[in-house]
Amino acid sequence: MAVVGFGVGALAGLGYMYRKMNTKVMPIANIDGKGNSFLFSEPPPVDVIARRVENPTDDSGLKITLFQYQACPFCTKVRAYLDFAGVSYDVVEVNPVTKKQVGWSIYKKVPTVIIKVKEGYQQLNDSSMIISSLASFLREKNQDLLKIVKFYPVVEYSEEDGSKRSEIMNRYFLMFGDEEPVDRTKESIVEERRWRKWSDDVLMHTLSPNIYRTWDESVAAFRMFDKNGDWERIFSYWERQLVIYVGAAAMYMIGKRLKKRHNLLEDVRLSLYQEVNHFMKAVKSKGTPFLGGDLPNLADLAVYACLVSIDGSVAFDDLLSNSSVAPWYTRMQQVIESRRGNVIRI
């Protein structure tokens, strides 16, 4: 009976997934013929806004919609920056299996951000590019966001095996305009870029093998994502079960592959402790609360976002007990929460 029940459930789930994935979402029309493939004449279709962050002190003039997975560390990085910057924004939760909510775009990854501009609606992709372009704009709000976006072109190339790749140029660079920033040294700018890249290239790759280390930890992680992402309110029962169990199985296997690909230690916890302590050593050498000084910089935010994405897991609890990160993490939480707007569930 158990086998039959499992089989029926699996077939029902696959049928539901097939129907969802084949529900067509019409792409929205691009209006720029000058190389900007992500400028649209109309806003993307949104079924449900998961929540809205409203900051009464926001004077940026930006109308921002973030398409994300709640648990994705790259999405967490964008949220951490938006909260730290004190801007208002809407959040659309994307189903990680069907991806229906981004069916309107040729770019199917998250995070992606849509910003209302004078010419229409500009889509920004890639967490580091999103942060760099917004941080550049917010330094001088009289700038044209579309001109800033042009400093981050996408370059396509082929690998030796013939596979096609693309890379966003300058994604760790802030655009300061014609004048040198008076509040930053060249050394601090280079250091910030270096640690931001390290966060993406090194620390980020220790996360999945740790939170999906065993089948039980993988399922527990997805149940945590279910709760934190408010999936019960946003997705149907079948969608939630599909994401939890299919997602847990997929990430359990992917975690094993990532462990091998990135040469993590046999005990992956040790790799996580080692990399976090490596960053904390750099912070300690500054003699300041954060790598950025008295306030976090973009590197602090990138590292913090990695850890927020696993907060609540067994791996995170182990990390606090076996590294020196706890005081810095608490300070980061306090700063970001003091700048975040009011969170409103729609």
Phi and psi angles of residue 39, each rounded to the nearest 5 degrees, phi first: -110, 120
For the chain, the distance separating the N- and C-terminal CA atoms, rounded to the nearest angstrom, is: 42
Give 108: exposed, middle or buried? Use CB within 10 Å, 0-12, 13-18, 19+: exposed
Q: In this structure, is the dihedral angle defined by the CA atoms of residues 124, 169, 100 and 31, taken in order, positive or negative?
A: positive
Rounded distance between C-alpha atoms, residue 43 and residue 49, angstroms: 14
Pairing outcome for strands 89-93 and 64-68: parallel
Residues taking part in catalysis: 69, 72, 74-75
Number of H helices, E strands in the chain: 13, 9
What is d(CA 32, CA 38) in angstroms, rounded to the nearest whole number?
8
Computed on alpha carbons and rounded to an integer, the radius of gyration of the chain in Å comes to 21
Fill in the DSSP letter of residue 292. T
Q: Tell how far CA 222 is from the center of its chain.
A: 16
125 phi, psi to nearest 5 deg:
-125, 155
